[in-house]
Structure 1
């Protein structure tokens, strides 16, 4: 039995070292590693080349896209070159337990069904603020449960994550990832695996770790409109109950509305999807709760500021920064938004979005404070800021 491990990477080299070390520690060695650089900037691309060249203990190859596309396209490139009977995925900022491949191999050997039409998956643990959190998910998907019901009703917030999946090569190459999606790629992959009649086999032990404090996650930067559009496009995979679960547990947590027109629009779309009457109450209850939390969060932030602060740089392009810009335009002047994945000439609600190295000197001089728009990444953000502008450290606030 031979495995292929596909690692998509974009503008990460230090995290990739950690991921590759976790592969080097695997207790079995019958696997290849395919690292796909999804168009990293040249400096980091060179660092990635060096990291891969120094991983001599692994059977490893490096592929590179000429331009950045997304993680789905990078995984598909890796899938197309994979030689293994089974393909696994490891995000470049995640790690595996050293026994993972051995446990997967045991599960495959013990599985009595069609090994070419099965998805093996397991719980993962989040590493956040220096602590390893409890394993998630904790229950297996029942045979009569859909992927959507399992993800958004039972688990509420997903649970089928790319670094936890092992798929037969034939099935993986037949289904592939959808490169048109900028997010929710692993959810979509699993929904379409199910549509291809794949069975899901759950290993109870947590065998991978997600490091939430190191980088901005793609999912966190997606707004509720994108998540709603994803549901609209993939609704054939959702029962009515699964739709309500997704609306309540995914969209409503993002959707902190500004005016009634947006609520009416969302309600109209939801009704068009066949979600009617009392079934909508859990969704709207969550929306009301999130709106209240957002207003309280903003008031608490205002009270925390030192007097005289007017010009701000926001760090992080997400729902928090969106709401802050819309709420605070009369009180503060937002100079720019720092975001690791900023594109050329990008704007977010009228504000320039820049990578930290592209913020000009005169902007830093005007800035009274940097505001971290996050719950999860403040430690790494402060570290990055201290390297670039150490004099700003007393003026960092968390929204």
Structure 2
């Protein structure tokens, strides 16, 4: 394998998408960059995905098909991680089974990764509203690294699994998807990665198209979503609280936003009588005040003579 043309592993979890995944796989076949393997991991489909994948594997040996092991939790996260474990590529592209790659998606990103030596490269995406017309997702604006974490936790920046092409070694050193989370898993995953201050390449070109469709699994209740969100928030706040206080406006804004975000979800959890999750979030709020936010607020109050304590009332 040439060092100028490294292997890229495309990892696609799927569940009952036999009617759509063929178009996704065709878009992988159409890539201008050809040194790839495509690993499809089935999360329990019952719709003929097995037969469809057999056809694609017969067509091209670069396609692989695996079923999520029974000892792994159901859901896309375990399927993504299992595909990662099966992968042989130096670079990782997770992708969704109902979406489409533009032909130069991998080539443009691999060239950037090889040239700039970054941890991952992100691009823009567009929603498929019909076969001919595309609608850009304005909130998926890309931000420079020093602003990315704050904008991501605010919800203004959403990388999604389709966007980044990763250096595999970076993921090995950092983390994979949390298999216990069923909601907010991408928010938690990318928040965790951005806390590590990665080197990120930005390509301001639409390189993938996505459908905004349900995947056919059972619908999630509000309580279920809140429980998972509380867990995701706690993981990110715990991780960020371990960082040293940094005298920058960005660090201060991240801590302030997380503090107020916790407050919002305390109210939501109380409304739905989720007392265990409420207790978890209250402890996080106290942790931020005691170990980070209050110290930072005190410093700024003394330095700038502005009553920043208002933000914690």
Q: Counterpart in 1 of 2:235?
A: 233
Structure 2: stretches of 5+ with no match in the other structure: 241-253, 295-308
* Residue of 1, 5, 12 corresponding to 1:7: 12
Contact 1:79 1:172 in 2 (8 A): no
SS at match of 1:4: strand
Alignment of 1:312-323 (within 5 A): none
Contact conserved, 2:40 with 2:66, CA < 8 A, in 1? yes
CA contact (8 A) 1:123 1:137 kept: no
Q: Which residue of 2 aligns with 1:243?
A: 258
CA contact (8 A) 2:153 2:191 kept: no
1:164 is displaced (CA, Å) by 0.7
Structure 1 gap segments, 5+ residues each: 282-399
Alignment partner, residue 44 of structure 1:
48
* TM-score when normalising by structure 1: 0.57
Between the aligned partners of 1:240 and 1:229, the Cα distance in structure 2 is: 18
> Deviations 1:188-221 (Å, cap 9, x if unpaired)?
3323334555322211112112211353589976
Give 2:37's aligned residue. Answer: 32
- Distance in 2, matches of 1:181 and 1:65, equals 16
| Cα distance in 2 for residues equivalent to 1:95 and 1:146 | 25
- What is the 5 A alignment of 1:184-333? 184-213=184-213, 215=215, 223-238=225-240, 239-243=254-258, 246=261, 255=268, 265=278, 268=282, 271-272=285-286, 274=288, 278-279=310-311
Change (3 A) 1:15 1:255: farther
Instruction: Provide the rounded CA distance (Å) in 2 between the counterparts of 1:23 and 1:188.
Output: 27
- Find the aligned partners of 1:256 and 1:216 in 2 and give their Cα distance: 27
How many residues matched? Answer: 269
**Per-residue CA distance 1:131-186 (angstroms, 9 max, x = gap):** 53214455433333352x12033xx2541211111111222234222212223222
The aligned counterpart of 2:146 is: 144
Alignment of 1:65 onto 2:79? no
CA distance 1:272–1:83, shift in 2 (3 Å): same
Aligned to 2:83: 78
Asked if the contact 1:24/1:58 (under 8 Å) is kept, the reply is no
Q: 2:78·2:179 contact (CA, 8 Å) conserved in 1?
A: yes
What is the CA-CA distance between 1:223 and the residue it aligns to?
Answer: 2.1
Give yes or no for contact 1:127–1:213 (8 Å, CA) kept in 2.
no
**Contact 2:11-2:83 at 8 Å conserved across structures:** yes
Q: Let me know the Cα RMSD of the aligned residues.
A: 3.6
CA-CA distance at 1:103 after TM superposition: 1.3
Distance in structure 1 (CA, Å) of the matches to 2:142 and 2:218: 26
**1:72 CA drift (Å):** 1.5
Matched residues in 2 for 1:219 and 1:202: separation? 34
Task: Tell me the SS of whatever aligns to 1:122.
Answer: strand
Q: How far apart in 1 are the matches of 2:211 and 2:129? A: 6
In the alignment, which residue of structure 2 is the partner of 1:92? 97
The equivalent of 2:159 in structure 1 is 160
Deviations 1:68-121 (A, max 9, x none): 62211111111112121111111112211111112112312331xx44xx1211
Cα-to-partner distance string for 1:239-276 (whole Å, 9 max, x where unaligned): 3233157569x969x959857998xx588567435479
For normalisation by structure 2, the TM-score amounts to 0.71
